[in-house]
Amino acid sequence: MNAEHDLSILTSFLRRLSPEVEGHDAGDPPEEVAARLDNFATGGADAKERASLAELLKRHPEWLRYLGRKIRSNAA
Amino acid sequence: MNPDLSTPSFHSADFEFAQDLLEGVSSAWDRFASELKPAILSRLLAQGATNADAEEVLGLVMEKLWAQKKLAAYTGSGPLQGFVRTMASNVWLEYLRKHRRMIPATNLSREDDPSDPMEGLACDTASPPQESPLAELLRDALTHALLVVDAEALLVMRLSLLQDIKQRDLCALWGGCHEGTISRKKQEAMEQIRDATLAYISEREPTLQISWQDLIEACGEGAEAILGPSV
């Protein structure tokens, strides 16, 4: 099993069938969530906050792109 | 359907082969019999069909591919073999569901169930047949798997593989952990998704013996067979 290959295939498949599941960028998250994601993106989240955000993002994968952008811009 | 010739993974030879099949070129049919028929039959046997079932389902696959022109959905985005094998899995699932419904009326009455068995049948037939039961089954199974997978492992995997976040940046976000920890989380997430997906399918369709390899093929190279051409 190649995780990268498999995930990419499954994600494309789900995007075609259920865009809301692995889907599109719904824009920026609400302010309070954005603040938590910004903090996470700078490495400021402790284990409890990471677990809580992970659960939140599992329910709202549409906010992952926002988080990805923040992490990349901090790392640059 | 015009193929996207700019796509690097365009399978031009397979695409031409499919066009020849659609046009009824006899050498293409010979090639189909020697190459694709055995691939379809072996897929069906691996998914739990008996020899007789496999032969019958093969006939249904041929009917779909040519009489119903489902082969026209093939754009060459993956190998033709993946397309026809996925089509076969889909037809096999339709076949299993259809035959599961064909229960003798005497088996519908249960002593502990006072309801009219015909009402049950009416409810059953009220659901229209699905165009692509395999696509729907896979979608439901994967959606379920994404709900049960460990949330942190899933986040690590998505950030790494879908958002291209570097391993060392993920380590920094996860309290300065070792890169091996991040790799393990990704692997764990994918294994959990695989196990939960297959378990869901096995519970919903116990007679469909689909492997992870088949599933990846159906969602990838064979997706056009169950979803139509991608736009």
What is the ipTM metric for this complex?
0.91
Cα–Cα distance for residue pair B68/B63, rounded to 1 Å: 6
Contact criterion met (CB < 8 Å) for B227 and A14: no
Provide the pLDDT for residue B127: 43
Chain A residues touching chain B at CB-CB below 8 Å: 1, 3-14, 16-18, 21, 40-41, 43, 45-47, 50-51, 53-55, 57-58, 61, 64-65, 67-68, 71-72, 75
Cα–Cα distance for residue pair B184/B5, rounded to 1 Å: 39
- Looking at the complex, report in whole angstroms how far the Cα of residue A5 sits from the nearest Cα belonging to chain B: 9
Provide the pLDDT for residue B99: 85
CB B61 within 8 A of CB B84: yes
- Looking at the complex, report in whole angstroms how far the Cα of residue B198 sits from the nearest Cα belonging to chain A: 14
Provide the pLDDT for residue B114: 47
Contact criterion met (CB < 8 Å) for B175 and A47: yes
pTM: 0.80
Chain centroid to Cα B6, Å, comes to 26
CB B144 within 8 A of CB B200: yes
8-state DSSP, A30: P
pLDDT per residue as tens digits for the range B18-30? 999 999 999 999 9
Contact criterion met (CB < 8 Å) for B162 and A47: no
Cα–Cα distance for residue pair B216/A5, rounded to 1 Å: 9
Residue B52: pLDDT above 80? yes
Which DSSP string corresponds to B33-46?
Answer: IIIIHHHHHHHHHH
Mean pLDDT over each residue of chain B, to the nearest integer: 85
Q: Which residue has the tokens 């889909």?
A: B90
Residue B116: pLDDT above 80? no
Phi, psi dihedral angles at B113 (to 5 degrees) = -125, 105
Tokens of B166: 């570097």
- Reduce the DSSP state of residue B128 to 3 states and report it: coil
Chain A positions touching B191 (Cβ under 8 A) are 1
Those residues with Cβ within 8 angstroms of residue B224's Cβ, 6 or more apart along the chain or in another chain: B73, B74, B75, B77, B78, B83, B230
- Partner-chain residue, chosen from A5, A46, A68, that has the shortest CB–CB distance to B163: A68
Domain ranges of chain B: 12-100, 133-227
| B12-100 maps to CATH 1.10.1740.10 | yes
pLDDT per residue as tens digits for the range B85-113? 999 999 999 999 988 755 444 444 444 44
Cα–Cα distance for residue pair B47/B211, rounded to 1 Å: 8
Suggest the residue from B7, B171, B190 to mutate for an interface test with chain A (most A CBs closer than 10 A): B190
Burial of B40 (0-12, 13-18, 19+ CB in 10 A): buried
The fold for domain B133-227 equals Arc Repressor Mutant, subunit A (1.10.10)
pLDDT per residue as tens digits for the range B126-162? 444 456 899 999 999 999 999 999 999 999 999 998 8
- Looking at the complex, report in whole angstroms how far the Cα of residue A18 sits from the nearest Cα belonging to chain B: 8
